[in-house]
């Protein structure tokens, strides 16, 4: 992908949209569950993770599940995006206690769906 287009995708609003698209595509966030959009609704541990993500120009998405808050933090993977010619995200999934549950990369395909990539 062209550097200018990648920089546009890195904009927080665009990155938020990409992360939301990934969460919906993978059925991670239940459809009836609203997003926790106010950082103050999160525990201090999760607030700290979100603060670090914001400082690093990342995006975050949180919601309450049956067993607590779930948090996704994403960064644009410029190298993988260039290599594959499509938006690519590096995503960290944290549980209610802030423990890292999964860390992986995803590429958005031409049809708008997402595919997990190997590191």
Query: Over the chain, what is the mean pLDDT?
Result: 89
Angle, helix 3-10 to helix 12-25, in steps of 10 degrees: 80
Report the C-alpha gap between 73 and 50 in whole angstroms.
7
pLDDT tens digits, residue range 29-69?
887 888 999 999 999 999 999 999 999 999 999 999 888 89
- Cβ atoms of 81 and 6 within 8 Å: the answer is yes
Percent of the chain with pLDDT over 90: 77
DSSP 27: T
At residue 29, the pLDDT reads 87
Grouping H, G, I as helix, E, B as strand and the rest as coil, residue 103 is: strand
Burial class (CB in 10 A: 0-12, 13-18, 19+), 22: buried
- Cβ atoms of 6 and 82 within 8 Å: the answer is yes
**Neighbouring residues of 34: CB distance < 8 A, sequence distance ≥ 6:** 63
pTM for this predicted structure: 0.85
**Residue at token pair 């993500």:** 53
């Amino acid at each position: 992908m062209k550097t200018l287009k990648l920089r546009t995708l890195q904009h927080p609003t665009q990155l938020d949209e990409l992360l939301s698209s990934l969460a919906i595509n993978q059925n991670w966030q239940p459809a009836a569950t609203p997003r926790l959009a106010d950082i103050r609704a999160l525990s201090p541990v999760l607030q700290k993770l979100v603060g670090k993500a914001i400082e690093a120009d990342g995006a975050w998405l949180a919601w309450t599940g049956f067993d607590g808050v779930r948090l996704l933090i994403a960064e644009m993977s410029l190298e993988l995006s260039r290599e594959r010619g499509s938006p690519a995200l590096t995503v960290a999934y944290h549980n209610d206690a802030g423990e890292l549950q999964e860390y992986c990369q995803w590429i958005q395909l031409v049809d708008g769906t997402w595919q997990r990539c190997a590191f």
